[in-house]
């Protein structure tokens, strides 16, 4: 990854300490056994036609020998247990595989979405077929970092509709979303969902290393999360709270304050409050 040096040493995990997910969380133990066992059915609400084309894209990458990681709405669903139908799928690859991946998708009938809606091709290739989109991503939109070997080193696996795939690590997924705060599109709702669902499994040291001098973004997100969910935030690691100088409201014991969550967006966006068979609205 091309990034700035930072002032925080990372403890990280060894490559053997990968997480295995079954459309949910995964263990950080070397045995890779789930630490949370719960029935999930969000995969059942993926429209069959959409999934057929997603699977074609996945198979084309495999047949071409291209390593990829699954992110976007599917990544969020795997970690948070709720899905949002964006009618697209995000496949993260290393920059060196960009042309090979474009060729693989073209060979199975996908075309460049640029002809329908222009986009910045410097970090993403958007392909389309039958009104669904396959996004191939090798860099952050702001060019802060590119996909590198470490993304794959820490990638957990998930089984979605009998397809076993590597996922964008939750640390990298949260890292990406912290930068997305545009006037017409903000990913901080996703960031809050990721924090809420995976705080106990997050490698905070590694995320801090990734952020480097951009660490205030994480401090800000965790401060807002502490206002939303004071009880849960108070159980964040004490070392993290000290390092980021986090101070949450005293005397508040509620895990999450529904009325505060609604103040940020009145739509149904907070995954923990939604049934598993219903799409997230944001």
Q: What does the alpha-carbon distance between residue 132 and residue 110 come to, in Å, rounded to a whole number?
A: 10
Radius of gyration in angstroms for the set of CA atoms belonging to the chain, rounded to a whole number: 19
CATH 3.60.110.10 fits 20-273, yes or no: no
Name the H helices within 229-282.
230-233, 238-243, 258-264
213 CB neighbour count, 10 Å cutoff? 10
- DSSP characters for 152-212? HHT--EEEETTEEEEB--HHHHHHHHHT-EETTEE-HHHHHHHHHHHTTT--HHHHHHHHG
Closest alpha carbon to 156 in 147, 142, 168? 168
CA separation, residue 49 to residues 56, 87, 113, 160 (Å):
11, 11, 19, 15
Closest alpha carbon to 173 in 131, 213, 132, 201? 201
What are the structure tokens assigned to 82, written together?
Answer: 């709720």
Tell me the β-bridge partners of 185. Answer: 182
* pLDDT tens for the chain, residues 1 to 282: 433 333 323 333 322 334 445 454 443 333 333 323 344 478 989 999 999 999 999 999 999 999 999 999 999 999 999 999 999 999 999 999 999 999 999 999 999 999 999 999 999 999 999 999 999 999 999 999 999 999 999 999 999 999 999 999 999 999 999 999 999 999 999 999 999 999 999 999 999 999 999 999 999 999 999 999 999 999 999 999 999 999 887 778 889 999 999 999 999 999 999 988 889 998
E-strand spans in the chain? 20-21, 69-71, 88-92, 111-112, 124-129, 132-137, 157-160, 163-166, 181-182, 185-186
Closest alpha carbon to 216 in 192, 182, 245? 245
Tell me the β-bridge partners of 127. Answer: 112, 134
Query: What angle, rounded to 10 degrees, do the helices at 188-198 and 170-178 form?
Result: 150
Q: Could you report how far apart the first and last alpha carbons of the chain are, in Å?
A: 30
What's the whole-model pTM score? Answer: 0.86
Question: Quick one: pLDDT at residue 23?
Answer: 52
Q: What does the alpha-carbon distance between residue 168 and residue 147 come to, in Å, rounded to a whole number?
A: 10
Ordered by start, the domain boundaries in the chain are: 20-273
The contacts of residue 267 (CB under 8 Å, 6+ apart) are: 281, 282
Tell me the β-bridge partners of 100. Answer: none
């Amino acid at each position: 990854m091309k990034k700035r040096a930072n002032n925080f040493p990372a403890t990280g995990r060894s490559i053997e300490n990968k997480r295995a997910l079954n459309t949910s969380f995964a263990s950080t133990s070397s045995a890779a056994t789930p630490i949370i066992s719960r029935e999930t059915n969000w995969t059942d609400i993926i429209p069959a036609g959409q999934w057929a084309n997603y699977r074609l894209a996945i198979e084309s990458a495999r047949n071409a020998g291209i390593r990829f990681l699954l992110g976007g709405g599917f990544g969020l669903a795997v970690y948070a247990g709720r899905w949002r139908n964006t009618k697209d799928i995000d496949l993260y690859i290393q920059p060196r595989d960009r042309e090979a991946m474009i060729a693989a998708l073209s060979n199975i009938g996908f075309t460049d979405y640029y002809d329908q809606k222009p986009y910045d091709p410097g970090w993403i290739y958007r392909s389309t077929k039958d009104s669904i989109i396959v996004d191939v991503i090798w860099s952050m939109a702001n060019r802060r970092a590119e996909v590198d070997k470490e993304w794959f080193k820490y990638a957990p696996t998930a089984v979605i509709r009998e397809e076993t795939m590597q996922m964008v690590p939750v640390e990298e997924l949260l890292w990406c979303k912290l930068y997305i705060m545009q006037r017409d599109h903000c990913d901080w709702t996703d960031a809050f969902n990721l924090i809420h669902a995976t705080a106990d499994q997050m490698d905070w040291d590694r995320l801090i290393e990734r952020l480097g001098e951009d660490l205030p973004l994480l401090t800000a997100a965790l401060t807002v999360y502490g206002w939303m969910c004071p009880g849960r935030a108070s159980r964040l690691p004490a070392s993290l709270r000290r390092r980021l100088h986090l101070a949450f409201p005293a005397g508040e014991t509620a895990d999450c304050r529904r009325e505060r969550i609604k103040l940020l967006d009145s739509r149904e966006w907070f995954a923990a409050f939604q049934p598993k068979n219903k799409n997230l609205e944001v």
